[in-house]
Structure 1
Amino acid sequence: MGTEEATVVTKPRKAAKRSAAPKADKVLLDAVDLAREAALSIATPNAVGEHEGAVMLGERLAMHYFTCTNKGYHGWRWAIAVARAPRAKVATVCETNLLPGDEALLSPEWVPYDQRLAPGDVGPGDVLPYIADDPNLEPGFEATGEEDVDQMAFFELGLGRTRVLSREGRESAAQRWYDGDNGPGAAVATQAKGNCSSCGYFLPMAGVLRQSFGVCANEWSSDDGRVVSLDHGCGAHSEVHEAPSRPEPIDPPVLDDFAIDIEAASESS
């Protein structure tokens, strides 16, 4: 028994209908004087400039634009919307606005308070907003009743605190410290004779960050009381010993006593 090939007939797809532009409305586009009067009613004196044109916004709805001549409003325009009822021969004013154009001077976009703060902005009496879903923090740990576990948690993980640093928070802090003035790339570190890891004033940190960071306890160092990386360094290293340079002898000045005596004798005569 023979097989017959099935024939699939596909219908051509209809092209998507494009939204037709609103039809020009002569009554609305000619209502320049009506639109100007509306602009003058809301503007300060002498603030309405030339008519910049009109556009159709929809069926029986148009917008007229006038230059705003107020100082400080360069590029702004008075926008007056006019409309008419079906089969009506008279235009009416719908809305009056002051809108920015393409070259308008605009104020910076508003940024929420908690996003405007930068490191170092917090001063005495300032309080940072609470961030419930801070990615740098994670829930702390409660006591388990096991002495060994609780001691470790208290020392390493922050027992008793509601939240502690998350992995993301630790990595962010470590990268910030390492790339800053307390890392190996700082100017004082590149000229140092020794690293902090071998200095007696270096105090290792607790937790995972002790593998890379500690605190400087040398009052003679510019990093005293600050977090420093193990490969940081400065000129106050406790184990670097350099022989003091000896001053080079300087020959005493030679005075010509004879010339001085002659000069003194000539003045006395």
Structure 2
Amino acid sequence: MCHDAPVIALQTAPDATLAKAVDLARSVVLELADPGDVGEHLGAVAEDDLVVTHQFACTRSGYVGWVWSVTLSRAKRHKQPTVNEVVLLPGADAIVAPPWVPYRERIQPGDLSPGDLLPVEDEDPRLVPTYSYGDDPLDPDAKAQVRQVATELYLGRVRTLSPEGRDLAAERWYSGPGGPESALAKNAPETCATCGFLARLAGPLSELFGVCANGNANDDGRVVSFDHGCGAHSEVKLARKQQPIPIPDHVYDSLTDDEFETL
């Protein structure tokens, strides 16, 4: 049986003429940087048959691990190199900024301060319109009339939670500290489903979640799943050995000083 041999990519050796142009590459860097910011030559890498990149260590303060990169090329049958580009690039050990994450994705619960605003996008999939604006939703007068009628009919909110938004909330709550996998729930004697302090939610979420109404519990005022639990369950009882030891009577009652003086 024949087997195809694996294909091994061989690295092309740098063009000899371009590889020797170290002084030219350094002079190009020195046109952009101070001499004290350019260190030793780190080598030359073949980018193509007649394209070579020279790298120099960057000694500028705050740029540890960065390299000056100069790309040279030449035409066939020509010995004179041409400068393509000069850039400062981070090396493998360079300190670089983390990937940019939009503010909307970085914000976490508790980050908003009084007065901060976090607008919701018009096409946010977590929300759906409560009512329609008719055939011309962009007409401001038509929208104003529809909203006025909606107010008179007590339709309330302009948008409401979509099935996708509801599912996202359920997943977040169930996998969070109010779900069954938290350390508090795993050590609880009973679940929230049998606790008298559980206030049920309305709508589809009422099938799995409620709000804790026990002022002595860690989860007071928070959404908890039915299979969550804690030590403040309404029906929890202490075993005899767990009950506090009764305090014995005083040997001498300090409130009856008169009797003490008569002894």
Residue 14 of structure 2 contacts residue 44 of structure 2 at CA under 8 Å; is this kept in 1? no
Partner residue in 2 for 1:163: 159
Pick one of 96, 119, 123 that aligns with 2:109.
119
Question: 2: CA distance between counterparts of 1:196 and 1:135?
Answer: 31
Pick one of 40, 44, 48 that aligns with 1:50.
40
Residue 240 of structure 1: CA displacement? 5.9
Amino acid at match of 1:247: P
Question: 2: CA distance between counterparts of 1:193 and 1:223?
Answer: 16
Residue 142 of structure 1 contacts residue 160 of structure 1 at CA under 8 Å; is this kept in 2? no
Partner residue in 1 for 2:248: 249
Pick one of 8, 11, 17 that aligns with 1:27.
17
Residue 197 of structure 1: CA displacement? 4.3
Change over 3 Å in CA distance of 1:87–1:168 after alignment to 2: same
Change over 3 Å in CA distance of 1:46–1:249 after alignment to 2: same
Pick one of 204, 208, 219 that aligns with 2:204.
208
TM-score of the superposed pair, with normalisation by structure 1: 0.63
Question: 2: CA distance between counterparts of 1:184 and 1:58?
Answer: 58
- Greater radius of gyration (CA): 1
Change over 3 Å in CA distance of 1:249–1:163 after alignment to 2: same
Residue 186 of structure 1: CA displacement? 4.9
Extract unaligned runs of 5+ from structure 1: 1-18, 144-153, 254-269
Question: 1: CA distance between counterparts of 2:107 and 2:116?
Answer: 11
Change over 3 Å in CA distance of 1:205–1:38 after alignment to 2: same
TM-score of the superposed pair, with normalisation by structure 2: 0.64
Partner residue in 1 for 2:55: 65
Residue 224 of structure 1: CA displacement? 3.2
Partner residue in 2 for 1:228: 224
Extract unaligned runs of 5+ from structure 2: 1-8, 134-149, 253-263
Partner residue in 2 for 1:75: 65
Residue 141 of structure 1 contacts residue 160 of structure 1 at CA under 8 Å; is this kept in 2? no
Residue 114 of structure 1 contacts residue 129 of structure 1 at CA under 8 Å; is this kept in 2? no
Amino acid at match of 2:128: E
Amino acid at match of 2:97: S
Question: 2: CA distance between counterparts of 1:55 and 1:191?
Answer: 60
